[in-house]
Amino acid sequence: MKDIIIKCPINQLSYGNISFNILKEIHKLGMTASIFPVSNKVDISVYDKIQSDFMSWLQDSINHRNLHTKRNFPCLNIWHIAGSEQKISDKNILYTFHETDSSTEAELNLCNLYDKTIFSSSFSHEIFKSNGLTNSDYSNPGFDFDFHKNESFKLKNKIHFGIMGKWESRKNTSRIIKLWVKEFGNDNRYQLSCCVNNSFLTEKELEELRKESIDNRDITNINFLPFLEKNSQVKQYLNSIDIDLGGMSGAEGWNLPSFNATCLGAWSIVLNATAHKDWATKDNCILIEPSGKTDIFDGRFFKGEEFNIGCKYDFNDQDFIQAMHLAVNKVKNNIKNTKGQELKDKFTYKKTLENILKHF
């Protein structure tokens, strides 16, 4: 196969990062692509290490997409199930992320429009398969090799915790920060850096969430970072932390920040559920077993309508607190997460793309 049509977001968000890395692998294969960016918007400002030959290929693939598109070319759509109804060619694959433990009739119907729907995790694949979807499979995302280990960013004389990603109820963001403050707040042997934002929330809303998460107190050893606008800044952040807390999300399609942090040698505390089970093990993470499930409805991002309904996984506060102290002991005793660093060779975007293209 030499020609392919791609519909995908090209931006700084998770879908955009994964699309960008898949596009790089398509370019490496020497394929000719017609690229249709979501909403016809392209923002590559976060990717500050782009090779010139890939940049030229990307621009040409976008600029000439309408001339090069043909019905018999296979089309890969990288997007949410909601909004995936429009197709271009006679052969279409949807690559998508799903977080909850349920599927809806609308989701199943849209997935059935495709020759194959490929999920980012085996968890989502099995959920949809068990509910009657017969054309599904999964292909895990990979490690972005623009990131690489660099010990020089570590904080001196402090154990550095981090949490990165969207500020959302399903990710337990406020709860995680509150529990950390309860155990380590104002103890300057420890530091927590929170790089958690949400482009769908106003700055005023985010500021209220930050204040509420620390009970409107002055906490000397916690800092809230703005959105990191360059991958080089993300790399610095990921390399600086010793312990990652973002793995305590209750519903995930992969969890790129925690996965990347683990690949770079941080000890991630991870809820052993949903997509985490594809990459997080007792050898490369500190696993916490779920205590049960709660409704994922939050009235804003999960509204209980046609899409994204069901449950997220819950955990016991004391289990999380104990896990944080276990992680601290690992760092104090200089126990390296070598198994975590091996993940970057097991999960690559080359494999992600290979597992997708075999279905065309």
Tell me the per-residue pLDDT of 208-238, one tens digit each, with 9 for 90 and over: 999 999 999 999 999 999 999 999 999 999 9
**Same domain, yes or no: 218 and 320:** yes
Work out how many domains the chain is built from and give that number: 2
Classify residue 338 as left (phi > 0), alpha (psi -120 to 50) or beta.
alpha
Tell me, what's the pLDDT at 305?
83
For 268, how many CA atoms within 13 A lie in the half-sphere containing its CB?
35
C-alpha 322: how far from its chain's center? 25
Provide the β-strand partners of residue 292. 314
**Same domain, yes or no: 190 and 333:** yes
Contact 88, 7 (CB under 8 A): yes
Q: Report helix, strand or coil for 164.
A: strand
**Same domain, yes or no: 189 and 313:** yes
**Same domain, yes or no: 117 and 203:** no
**Same domain, yes or no: 158 and 137:** no
**Same domain, yes or no: 161 and 302:** yes
Domain that holds residue 209: 151-346
**Stated pTM of the model:** 0.97
Q: How far is CA 101 from CA 115, 170, 252, 275, 287, in A?
A: 23, 12, 10, 11, 19
How does strand 267-271 pair with strand 243-244? parallel
Two structure tokens written together for 10: 């090209």
Q: How far apart are CA 323 and CA 279, in angstroms?
A: 18
Q: How far apart are CA 247 and CA 241, in angstroms?
A: 14
**Same domain, yes or no: 97 and 164:** no
**Same domain, yes or no: 156 and 139:** no
For the chain, give the mean pLDDT.
96
Tell me, what's the pLDDT at 115?
97
**Same domain, yes or no: 123 and 267:** no
**Same domain, yes or no: 236 and 123:** no
**Same domain, yes or no: 306 and 180:** yes
pLDDT of residue 106 exceeding 90, the answer is yes
* CATH code of the domain covering residue 110: 3.40.50.2000
